Amino acid sequence: MGFKEAMLQRNQELIDQFNRDEQLWHRLQWRKVNRRVRFPKLGALSHAILDLGDEMRERRRPAYCVGRKWIGKRP
C-alpha cells in the first residue's frame, strides 16, 4: 500500500469516527429533549445528572487495536 492509499484510508477512518460521534450526539440530544418534555418539574441539577448518566452509558472503551498503527503490530 502506497503513501497516498494509506492517507486516504486514514482520512476515511477519521470521517467514519466523526460520523459515529455525530450519531451519538444526536441520540443523546434526543434523550435530553425527550426527558425535559416528559419530566418538566425536575430541576436543572437533576437533568444535568441524568444527562451525564446517559453519556457515561454510551461511552465505550477504546479498542486495543487503535494503537497498533503507531506502536507496531502485536501478536
Task: Give me the chain's average pLDDT, please.
Answer: 82
| % of the chain beyond a pLDDT of 90 | 40
Query: What are the pLDDT digits (tens) for 22-36?
Result: 998 898 999 999 999
In the prediction, which pLDDT does 75 show?
A: 47
Q: Which three cell numbers stand for residue 65?
A: 487495536
pLDDT at 38: 94
Judge residue 63's burial from the number of C-beta atoms within 10 Å of its C-beta, 0-12 exposed, 13-18 middle, 19 or more buried. Answer: exposed
Is the pLDDT at 68 greater than 80, yes or no?
Answer: no
What is the residue-wise DSSP string for 1-63? --HHHHHHHHHHHHHHHHHHHHHHHHHHHHHHHHHHHH-TTS-HHHHHHHHHHHHHHH--PPP
